[in-house]
Structure 1
Amino acid sequence: MKGNTRVSNAEPEWESFSHALAAASALNRSLVPLRQDREATVRVLGEALKTFETRDEALLLLAALGTDITEALIPPLLRTALRVRDTLRVRQVLGRLPHSAAEAAVPPAVWKLLDEAAESDDYRRMAELLDYLGLDAALSDLCVRARESMDEEIREVAEDFGGE
């Protein structure tokens, strides 16, 4: 009798796993046309990142698609990373980039973002991202820039990430 109880308890777990596998399989099949029409995929995902209702799904798709699409979406991804709720997921998506690609594309997008009247939290999120990606030269540059700020809280970011 106890054996049957275990089996019936395990069935819901297997059923959930089975549903998840089916969903993963369906996702994998649905990615084929997205990979084939890269330009449209970049455009649609860029728009999806702007909207609260579609942002989670866009980040999920980006994690499953090739890094070439991620590279094309670095500016909107950085804006998304400014939202504390999405910071970690954006780091994980950008962390899939080859280091050389991240080194070439992320810092210029960070500088452009910070030129748009950034606040101390924006500096902090970007410093955390650069640190996470191992972009030490860019992090050092961000700290130099932060030290020169008139805003005390932005200068604090430099102290936290760049010493002194």
Structure 2
Amino acid sequence: MDTEHGPTSAAANTASADWLALDHQLCFALYSTSLAMTKLYKPLLEPMGLTYPQYLVMLVLWEQKPEGNALTVSALGERLNLDSGTLTPLLKRLEAAGLITRQRDAGDERRVRVQPTRAGHQLREQALRIPPTVACAIQCELHEISQLTQRLRVLREQLLQAQA
């Protein structure tokens, strides 16, 4: 099938065996890179007492301005592409560690608001060392990481649009 952005039928037929090679699969490249990235983060996050998914939650919470502005669990899940079944236990562990608080919304009991505690905010200072450490480990400048991140965001949006 010819597409505007895909290989032509002749090219696809001629190289069909090559296109099925594992090393030619974009999905595997992304999957294996994600595993390697998570493995890189593990020793960086251990001194902070965070797992990688907990770190992602804290990153989103640290973005909230002004500080102290709570985020709903549903908004947090939407931002991280996590469902409440995955997010709730994660938040409970962060709360038990004293890094966040969870409170029912006074105006709507169905909503739970999450915000970092003072200890959670202080953890941000330790996290500031992570991006330069990652950049060094992957031998990229921070601006190169920014460009790659932007390209991956575009790819994610294109994938979501293709599924709609």
Normalising by structure 1, report the TM-score.
Answer: 0.34
1 or 2, which has the higher strand percentage?
2
Normalising by structure 2, report the TM-score.
Answer: 0.34
1 or 2, which has the higher helix percentage?
1
